Structure 1
Amino acid sequence: MAEIRVPELAESITEGTIAKWLKQPGENVDKGEFIVELETDKVNVEVISEEAGVLSELLAAEGDTVEVGQVIAIVGEGSGAPAQQAPQATEAAAPAPAPAQKEETPAPAATAVTEEASSSDRTIASPAARKLAREKGINLADVSPVDPMGRVRAQDVSAHNNAPAPAAAAPAAKAEAKDDGRITREKMTRRRQTIAKRLLEVRQSTAMLTTFNEIDMSKMMELRSRKKDQFFEQNDVRLGFMSFFTKAVVAALKKYPYVNAELDGDEVLLKNYFDIGIAVSTDGGLVVPNVVDADRKSFAQIEASIGELAKKARDNKLTMADMTGGSFTITNGGVFGSLLSTPILNGTQVGILGMHTIQKRPVAIGDNIEIRPMMYVALSYDHRVIDGKDSVGFLKMIKELLENPEDLLLGS
């Protein structure tokens, strides 16, 4: 017999959520085979079995929060068969009634216990729900499951145990009836909860300020259009705008090092590396993997890195190494049509650049008015570390580099 435990995830992560069981009780498990997917604050992790055998018991249900080191499943010896529900008592197996005795009747309490056990056995429930119900002395038959298939889970048992008294339940029932099915209650995923918590912490613990500018994208678009076919033939990767922005950010960070910093108590940590986080939208929420050593990468290498990280993000294959150690972040709301926004700082970083949609607008060019493709850009920064002079200078340098993209190519 082998215990499946929640593995060490990362230094800052102590718990996770059971996202999906990949194996069910009664199924064969090979050594090294994935049996469960855990969702953590940052990435999803698949846990393997260290032994071959049969998955005999699940000790946590999908949606349960589990801690590092906690036993979540048992793998036993032998060969398995398709998982089945707990056997039900049959009439043939039921004990024969005891002979009637004069002036004696069955004890009511004993009858109630027998009926309760029988009804609990007939209830379809997860192992974690059964365990919790036993601990709390709850009859599973009395628990109302959320699952439309009728399966009772641990959260259903907890909700039943915390149910309001009849007097308090009446107003709740009235409020529920008033909703008339127009509200769907959905629990936030662990990642969404973490995003919400950290964004709120950033707003409350930093002196965040945002400065704006706009970029004439004419020359960059013309250069990209002229070089994209040749670029693809030579590098087998498409030339996008993100490599230009990443190169411009690295150049500006080198000139304004306090934008590439972190505040630690009363000390400023100036980072001498350039790991640029690229925000990627996924079904589970926004994640920010890093293009490591972006200053040492060519345009093609940056484009390839961004493409690989985006694919890993959407496939839930990002590792902790992909997500940690970033020094500055770029987020592109323009892909969703955002014209202007105020990006929020990423973790302990003191700067984030927001890109937006490209829109043709009338612009004064000398004494003439011309229609140009323009993009608003925003730099949010921690005013405790960065003053207006550096923030405005940083964003102005990015504008100048992107409006003259040949300089970026020559300097890379």
Structure 2
Amino acid sequence: AKEARPTPPRPASKPDDAAREERVRMTKLRQTIARRLKDAQDTAAMLTTFNDVDMSAVMAMRSQYKDIFEKKHGTKLGFMGFFTKAVIGALKDVPAVNAEIDGQDLVYKNYYHIGIAVGTDKGLVVPVVRNADDLSIAGIEKTISGFGKKARDGKLSIDEMQGGTFTITNGGIYGSLMSTPILNAPQSGILGMHRIEERPVVRNGKIEARPMMYLALSYDHRIVDGKEAVTFLVRVKEALEDPARLVLDL
């Protein structure tokens, strides 16, 4: 007769899934973010169009002047000052992107309050640089730097996050290659910046490696036509690829 083999012990059963979950109450900020994002999707006819920009000229200017800039102005020279200036020029050329719907009316904003998305441990907040067209690149950088510190410290006021006419968000600082940002209602446009990456491009019949960034414009198609969206992105691209125009206000 064959010798009976001992039955191997059964592996300990894992607790059910519910026992391995953690339930956390949403903060008021997260609830507000969730509600506003869903409202934007439900209300706007949202569409995203893309372009790319050669960042060589901006990077060269920044590299050349960043130390002098910081010494004179007491703040670092980043990319956001250039982008904000480029966006304002494009908004002036394509005013529909700086408009909103109010009932049966289109309201064109002839002022430029630019929201700058800032990530914090508690979620995304969007402080507003008011009358950004009146500020120099240094003034914009100082304002954004101040907002960033207040956001991280949880000291932004409600007033500082209201009244924006257009928003810029930079997923590139987290490594994003491309995205489709959601509108910050009731605004009709939001520009998404992304990471800078060397890619092969053709210049004068030759293939060269250039630092390129994808740009994404999400817009409300009820207000902004496709031609206007493309024109807006082209204006931003042209300004960034020749940043002297931003400094000289051309």
| TM superposition shift of 1:366 | 2.0
Please say if 1:233 is aligned against 2:71: yes
In our comparison, the structure showing a higher alpha carbon Rg is 1
- Residue 211 of structure 1 corresponds to 49
Q: Matches of 1:180 and 1:408 in 2, distance apart? A: 56
- Residue 243 of structure 1 corresponds to 81
Q: Matches of 1:232 and 1:315 in 2, distance apart? A: 23
Please say if 1:276 is aligned against 2:114: yes
Of the three residues 349, 360, 381, the one matched with 2:219 is 381
What are the equivalent positions in structure 2 for 1:68-147 lying under 5 Å apart?
none
- Residue 365 of structure 1 corresponds to 203
TM-score normalised by length of structure 2: 0.92
Of the three residues 195, 217, 220, the one matched with 2:33 is 195
Percent of aligned pairs sharing the same letter? 57
What are the equivalent positions in structure 2 for 1:293-312 lying under 5 Å apart?
293-312=131-150
Q: Summarize deviations over 1:198-229 as a string: whole Å, max 9, x none.
A: 11111111100000000000111001101111
Q: Look up the SS of the partner of 2:19 in the other structure.
A: coil
In structure 1, the gaps of 5 or more residues are: 1-176
Q: Summarize deviations over 1:84-141 as a string: whole Å, max 9, x none.
A: xxxxxxxxxxxxxxxxxxxxxxxxxxxxxxxxxxxxxxxxxxxxxxxxxxxxxxxxxx
Q: Look up the SS of the partner of 1:181 in the other structure.
A: helix
In structure 2, the gaps of 5 or more residues are: 1-14
AA aligned to 1:409 is V
Of the three residues 163, 169, 177, the one matched with 1:331 is 169
RMSD (Å), alpha carbons: 1.3
Of the three residues 336, 348, 352, the one matched with 2:190 is 352
Please say if 1:287 is aligned against 2:95: no
AA aligned to 2:107 is L
Of the three residues 233, 238, 249, the one matched with 1:395 is 233
| TM superposition shift of 1:396 | 0.4
AA aligned to 1:377 is L
- Residue 267 of structure 1 corresponds to 105
Q: Look up the SS of the partner of 2:180 in the other structure.
A: coil
- Residue 3 of structure 2 corresponds to none
Q: Matches of 1:402 and 1:178 in 2, distance apart? A: 55
Q: Matches of 2:41 and 2:130 in 1, distance apart? A: 27
Q: Matches of 1:327 and 1:245 in 2, distance apart? A: 15
AA aligned to 1:294 is A
- Residue 318 of structure 1 corresponds to 156
| TM superposition shift of 1:180 | 6.4
- Residue 409 of structure 1 corresponds to 247
Q: Summarize deviations over 1:35-65 as a string: whole Å, max 9, x none.
A: xxxxxxxxxxxxxxxxxxxxxxxxxxxxxxx
- Residue 343 of structure 1 corresponds to 181
TM-score normalised by length of structure 1: 0.56
| TM superposition shift of 1:181 | 3.3
Q: Look up the SS of the partner of 2:64 in the other structure.
A: helix
